[in-house]
């Protein structure tokens, strides 16, 4: 049986007929299936399973009139857990999940925000196309595509947002806009990195890449000498051809010994080329186990659509980006793990094609770094993690919102360099002057200090 911390409201939220038709409220048989997310239990007064932009506009208007908290949910996999609430309205986009190939030759596709990335990958595969998104098929399109998208082919294909050609959004006033490089270009810039602050994204157009089979290696390393291992792994990743992207998870194994598991992808199916490209990364440390296989890309991230009931106990996470895994940086990361302040530390390689995009092109402005770092712990471990993270902070340069649960001014400043933050704040006052979309790294008002 699933654990539930918060009690649902006892009175039934009155709703206009059009919303009542698609609302799930406490007492409805489906309520327990939709109230929670992957990391958080919730007790919303209504989860509105929106069918189109008109439902979204009606729900926005109703939340405003009834002065209820409003939350947007696509996949419900947000690490911050902000896609549910207590006593408010959840706009659930999961019914808006169509994936459409608009032009197979050029790779132009339209993807609705409620789709899961695993389903997107599976539906593009028969066309020989793919979008590098993340490593988890259940992650929703809307949350990831409004923030960045560090995927298993990032070093070859860049971030997910680098492939975005247009976005459709319902703004705070209920209007539907389609933004691209020629229409509302400021909004299009802001959506690609700070999207949650500007509206409800309903669909995106992306330029997908021709992708067939890839070669993936799942490697378990003895990471006992954690800092030395990280330094070697980092150097090998940076030196590897762009076809290679590696994601590393560090944990303390049985007996207190740190182990690292890497998922390393060579975006290509030629085994000899892959062997050469992968070898230095796979020999970064003593290998306890290694399995390499040729696979269609989409099989690396199946969408399970498993029920969400706050099953992830590591609900406090810190994010940072780094240019290089220097010895001092690696030592500071090692101490976060070894001191037991974070049961899980992850590193994802960025760099390569991610850094081909100018830092001014998107609100996600981090285009010099080679690694994204995340450390996660349980709520009672927060203070200890923060103590070690503070020591690590001088080695970091930037922050990726999708891996951060803190919401202070420091996080905003780390996520957005000063000029980017200034521009975002001005745009916020243009597109969301009444701060309707403020529950996910809210941008301050233009007249407040930042
Ligand atoms: C197991 C796991 C693995 C992950 N791996 C990666 C990875 O490899 N690479 C990576 O880049 N990220 C990764 N992530 C992070 C992931 O990208 C973010 O957590 C993302 O926000 C999840 O998207 P979602 O739609 O499922 O989120 P939800 O929980 O539905 O939403 C999270 C927040 O995003 C905003 N949002 C959601 N949908 C919309 C929308 N349509 N319009 C406007 N705002 C919206 C809202 O503020 C919402 O509160 C991972 C997350 C998990 C849980």
The tokens describing 393, both together, are: 């902070």
Give pLDDT tens digits for 362-373.
Answer: 999 999 999 999
What order of strands is seen across the sheet that includes strand 371-377? 287-296, 213-222, 258-266, 244-252, 344-349, 371-377, 316-322
Ligand 1 centroid, distance to 328 Cα (angstroms) = 31
- Identify the pLDDT of residue 11: 84
Site to substitute for ligand 1 among 95, 136, 139, most atoms within 8 A of C-beta: 139
d(CA 337, CA 327): 15
| Lining residues, ligand 1, CB within 6 Å | 37-38, 71-79, 82-83, 93, 113, 134-136, 139-140, 142-144, 146-150, 195-196, 200-201, 402, 440
Ligand 1 centroid, distance to 439 Cα (angstroms) = 13
In this predicted structure, the answer to whether residue 209 has a pLDDT above a threshold of 60 is yes
Ligand 1 centroid, distance to 132 Cα (angstroms) = 15
- Identify the pLDDT of residue 223: 97
In this predicted structure, the answer to whether residue 81 has a pLDDT above a threshold of 90 is no
In this prediction, residue 6 has a pLDDT band, given cuts at 50, 70 and 90, of low
Q: What percent of the chain has pLDDT over 70?
A: 98
Domains of the chain are 17-92 (3.30.43.10), 99-210 (3.30.465.10), 213-408 (3.40.462.20)
Give pLDDT tens digits for 115-150.
Answer: 999 999 999 999 999 999 999 999 999 999 999 999
Atom of ligand 1 nearest to the CA of 139: 26
Give pLDDT tens digits for 320-367.
Answer: 999 999 999 999 999 999 888 889 999 999 999 999 999 999 999 999
Q: Mean pLDDT across the stretch 288-306?
A: 97
Ligand 1 centroid, distance to 51 Cα (angstroms) = 20
- Identify the pLDDT of residue 449: 60
Q: Mean pLDDT across the stretch 399-416?
A: 95
Ligand 1 centroid, distance to 403 Cα (angstroms) = 9
Ligand 1 centroid, distance to 2 Cα (angstroms) = 22
């Amino acid at each position: 049986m699933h654990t539930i911390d918060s009690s649902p409201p006892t009175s039934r939220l009155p709703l206009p007929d059009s919303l009542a038709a698609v609302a799930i409220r406490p007492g409805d048989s489906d309520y327990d299936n939709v109230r929670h997310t992957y990391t958080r239990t919730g007790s919303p007064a209504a989860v509105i399973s929106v069918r189109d932009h008109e439902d979204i506009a009606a729900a926005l208007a109703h939340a405003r009139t009834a002065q209820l908290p409003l939350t947007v949910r696509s996949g419900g996999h947000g690490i911050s857990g902000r896609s549910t609430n207590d006593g408010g309205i959840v706009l659930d986009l999961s019914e808006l999940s169509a994936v459409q190939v608009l032009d197979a030759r050029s790779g132009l596709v339209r993807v609705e925000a409620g789709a899961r990335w695993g389903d997107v990958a599976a539906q593009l595969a028969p066309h020989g196309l793919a979008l590098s998104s993340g490593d988890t098929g259940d992650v929703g399109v809307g949350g990831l595509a409004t923030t960045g998208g560090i995927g298993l082919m990032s070093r070859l294909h860049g971030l997910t947002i680098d492939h975005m050609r247009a976005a459709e959004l319902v703004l705070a006033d209920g209007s539907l806009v389609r933004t691209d490089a020629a229409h509302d270009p400021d909004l299009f810039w802001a959506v690609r990195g700070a999207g949650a602050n500007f509206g409800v994204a309903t669909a995106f157009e992306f330029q997908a890449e021709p992708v067939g089979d890839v070669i993936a290696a799942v490697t378990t390393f003895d990471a006992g000498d954690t800092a030395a291992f990280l330094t070697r792994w980092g150097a090998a990743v940076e030196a590897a051809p762009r076809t290679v992207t590696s994601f590393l998870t560090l944990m303390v194994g049985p007996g207190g010994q740190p182990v690292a598991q890497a998922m390393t992808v060579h975006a290509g199916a030629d085994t000899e080329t892959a062997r050469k490209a992968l070898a230095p990364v796979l020999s970064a440390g003593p290998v306890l186990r290694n399995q390499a296989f040729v696979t269609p890309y989409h099989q690396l991230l199946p969408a399970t659509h498993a029920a969400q009931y706050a099953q992830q106990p590591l609900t406090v996470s810190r994010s940072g980006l780094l240019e290089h895994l220097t010895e001092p940086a690696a030592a500071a990361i090692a101490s976060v793990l070894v001191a037991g302040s974070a049961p899980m530390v992850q590193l994802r390689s960025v760099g390569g094609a991610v850094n081909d995009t100018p830092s001014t092109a998107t609100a996600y402005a981090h285009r010099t770094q080679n690694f994204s770092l995340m450390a996660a712990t349980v709520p009672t471990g927060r203070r200890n993690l923060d103590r070690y993270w503070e020591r690590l902070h001088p080695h970091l340069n930037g922050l990726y919102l999708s891996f951060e649960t803190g919401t202070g001014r420091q996080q905003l400043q780390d996520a957005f360099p000063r000029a980017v933050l200034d521009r975002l704040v001005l745009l916020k006052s243009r597109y969301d002057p009444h701060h309707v979309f403020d529950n996910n790294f809210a941008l301050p008002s233009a007249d407040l200090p930042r």
